[in-house]
């Protein structure tokens, strides 16, 4: 049985994985097609990697609590 915390974690994990893929593979495409948005929300490799590490850390905590 998967708890609501598990579902939320897996959705956030999926988001962080897509953010990292987009940052490392499609940053030029993002800047070209979303000029206004890219000024306010730039794709920066450091922040997306930190986001992934923090999500994995929360997942580790949830796993140790037995919620995953």
- The confidence score (pLDDT) of residue 13 equals 97
Do the Cβ atoms of 16 and 48 come closer than 8 Å?
yes
Q: What is the largest CA-CA distance in the chain?
A: 44
- The confidence score (pLDDT) of residue 11 equals 97
Do the Cβ atoms of 52 and 16 come closer than 8 Å?
yes
pTM (2 d.p.): 0.81
- The confidence score (pLDDT) of residue 41 equals 83
- The confidence score (pLDDT) of residue 48 equals 92
Q: pLDDT tens for the chain, 68 residues: list them.
A: 778 999 999 999 999 999 999 899 988 888 888 888 888 888 888 999 999 999 999 999 999 999 88
């Amino acid at each position: 049985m998967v708890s609501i915390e598990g579902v939320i974690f897996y959705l956030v994990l999926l988001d962080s994985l897509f953010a990292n893929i987009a940052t490392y593979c499609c940053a030029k495409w993002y800047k070209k097609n979303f000029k206004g948005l890219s000024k306010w929300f730039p794709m920066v490799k450091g922040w997306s990697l930190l986001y992934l590490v923090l999500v994995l850390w929360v997942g580790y905590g949830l796993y140790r609590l037995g919620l995953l």
